[in-house]
Amino acid sequence: MVEILSNITILAAIYLVLNIVAFGAYGFDKAKASMDKWRTPEKTLLILAFFGPFGAYAGMLVFRHKTQKKPFTWAVPLFILIHIIAFIGIIFILN
Protein backbone atom coordinates (compact mmCIF):
# COMPACT_ATOMS: atom_id res chain seq x y z
CA MET A 1 0.00 0.00 0.00
CA VAL A 2 2.87 2.38 0.79
CA GLU A 3 4.38 1.71 -2.63
CA ILE A 4 1.08 2.57 -4.34
CA LEU A 5 0.87 5.84 -2.41
CA SER A 6 4.43 6.80 -3.31
CA ASN A 7 3.71 6.02 -6.99
CA ILE A 8 0.58 8.16 -6.83
CA THR A 9 2.60 10.98 -5.25
CA ILE A 10 5.19 10.79 -8.03
CA LEU A 11 2.49 10.79 -10.73
CA ALA A 12 0.71 13.71 -9.07
CA ALA A 13 3.97 15.69 -8.97
CA ILE A 14 4.63 14.97 -12.66
CA TYR A 15 1.06 15.98 -13.49
CA LEU A 16 1.45 19.21 -11.55
CA VAL A 17 4.67 20.02 -13.42
CA LEU A 18 2.97 19.33 -16.79
CA ASN A 19 0.19 21.76 -15.91
CA ILE A 20 2.65 24.41 -14.73
CA VAL A 21 4.62 24.03 -17.97
CA ALA A 22 1.43 24.40 -20.02
CA PHE A 23 0.42 27.49 -18.03
CA GLY A 24 3.87 29.01 -18.50
CA ALA A 25 3.90 28.25 -22.23
CA TYR A 26 0.64 30.15 -22.71
CA GLY A 27 2.01 33.10 -20.76
CA PHE A 28 5.31 33.01 -22.66
CA ASP A 29 3.51 32.91 -26.01
CA LYS A 30 1.27 35.81 -25.01
CA ALA A 31 4.32 37.85 -24.00
CA LYS A 32 5.98 37.06 -27.32
CA ALA A 33 2.79 38.04 -29.16
CA SER A 34 2.74 41.38 -27.36
CA MET A 35 6.33 42.05 -28.46
CA ASP A 36 5.63 40.88 -32.02
CA LYS A 37 8.36 38.24 -31.73
CA TRP A 38 8.67 34.57 -32.68
CA ARG A 39 5.69 32.58 -31.39
CA THR A 40 5.12 29.08 -30.10
CA PRO A 41 3.35 27.04 -32.79
CA GLU A 42 -0.34 26.41 -32.07
CA LYS A 43 0.25 22.67 -32.47
CA THR A 44 2.78 22.81 -29.61
CA LEU A 45 0.36 24.70 -27.38
CA LEU A 46 -2.36 22.13 -28.11
CA ILE A 47 -0.01 19.24 -27.32
CA LEU A 48 0.88 20.90 -24.02
CA ALA A 49 -2.84 21.39 -23.39
CA PHE A 50 -3.41 17.67 -23.94
CA PHE A 51 -0.92 16.75 -21.21
CA GLY A 52 -1.63 19.71 -18.90
CA PRO A 53 -5.17 20.85 -19.67
CA PHE A 54 -5.85 22.58 -16.37
CA GLY A 55 -2.71 24.70 -16.70
CA ALA A 56 -3.48 25.46 -20.33
CA TYR A 57 -7.02 26.53 -19.49
CA ALA A 58 -5.77 28.69 -16.61
CA GLY A 59 -3.21 30.22 -18.98
CA MET A 60 -5.93 30.98 -21.49
CA LEU A 61 -7.97 32.77 -18.83
CA VAL A 62 -5.18 34.55 -16.93
CA PHE A 63 -3.29 35.74 -20.00
CA ARG A 64 -6.40 36.10 -22.18
CA HIS A 65 -4.61 34.09 -24.82
CA LYS A 66 -6.07 31.90 -27.57
CA THR A 67 -9.57 32.44 -26.18
CA GLN A 68 -11.00 33.27 -29.62
CA LYS A 69 -9.24 30.53 -31.60
CA LYS A 70 -11.63 27.69 -32.47
CA PRO A 71 -9.26 24.75 -31.89
CA PHE A 72 -8.49 26.04 -28.41
CA THR A 73 -12.08 26.87 -27.45
CA TRP A 74 -13.20 23.26 -27.93
CA ALA A 75 -10.00 21.21 -27.55
CA VAL A 76 -8.84 22.45 -24.15
CA PRO A 77 -12.24 21.85 -22.46
CA LEU A 78 -12.37 18.44 -24.18
CA PHE A 79 -8.92 17.59 -22.80
CA ILE A 80 -10.09 18.60 -19.31
CA LEU A 81 -13.11 16.31 -19.67
CA ILE A 82 -10.89 13.44 -20.81
CA HIS A 83 -8.62 13.94 -17.81
CA ILE A 84 -11.53 14.07 -15.37
CA ILE A 85 -12.92 10.83 -16.82
CA ALA A 86 -9.45 9.26 -16.57
CA PHE A 87 -9.14 10.36 -12.91
CA ILE A 88 -12.51 8.83 -12.09
CA GLY A 89 -11.46 5.62 -13.83
CA ILE A 90 -8.20 5.49 -11.89
CA ILE A 91 -10.04 6.04 -8.60
CA PHE A 92 -12.36 3.11 -9.38
CA ILE A 93 -9.44 0.92 -10.35
CA LEU A 94 -7.56 1.70 -7.14
CA ASN A 95 -10.59 1.03 -4.92
Let me know: does 59 contact 23? Beta carbons within 8 Å.
yes
Q: Domain residues for 61?
A: 2-94
pTM of the model: 0.90
For the segment 36-89, what is each residue's pLDDT rounded down to a tens digit?
999 999 999 999 999 999 999 999 999 999 999 999 999 999 999 999 999 999
59 within 8 A of 80, measured Cβ to Cβ:
no
* Residue from 42, 15, 50, 13 nearest 26 by CA: 42
**Total of domains in the chain:** 1
Confidence of residue 4 (pLDDT cuts 50, 70, 90): low
